[in-house]
């Protein structure tokens, strides 16, 4: 989730450990800001990564991320797990 040309771009992923993570929400501007606001209200960690958010925003809602993004998304998942205390 990140700022792109002064308009928030947000992409939310869901990972249920079945298959690859899926894009479950995405938006720019007011919608992007709302996605970030809802995430923070529910204690969902937010990472700013302009390049990754841009790539993920091209994926259709409900679709799994493509293999070429596995490594970048895995790094985000490790970040999230560390913040939640699940991984050191």
- The domains located in the chain, with CATH, are 2-84 (3.40.1690.10)
Q: pTM here?
A: 0.81
pLDDT at position 22 over 90: yes
How many angstroms from the chain centroid is the CA of residue 37?
13
The DSSP H or E segment spanning 33 is helix 30-41
What per-residue confidence (pLDDT) applies to 37?
95
pLDDT digits (tens, 9 = 90+) for 33-80: 999 999 999 988 888 888 999 999 999 999 999 999 999 999 988 887
The confidence band for 6, taking pLDDT boundaries of 50, 70 and 90, is low
Six-digit token string for 17: 């450990």
Measured distance CA(81)–CA(26) in Å, rounded: 22
């Amino acid at each position: 989730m990140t700022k792109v040309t002064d308009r928030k771009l947000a992409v939310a992923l869901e990972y249920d450990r079945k298959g690859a993570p899926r894009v479950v929400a995405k938006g720019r501007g007011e919608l992007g800001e709302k996605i970030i606001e809802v995430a923070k209200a529910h204690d969902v960690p937010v990472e700013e990564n302009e390049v990754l958010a841009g790539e993920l925003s091209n994926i259709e809602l409900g679709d799994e991320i493509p293999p070429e993004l596995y490594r970048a998304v895995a790094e985000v998942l490790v970040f999230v797990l560390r913040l939640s205390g699940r991984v050191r």
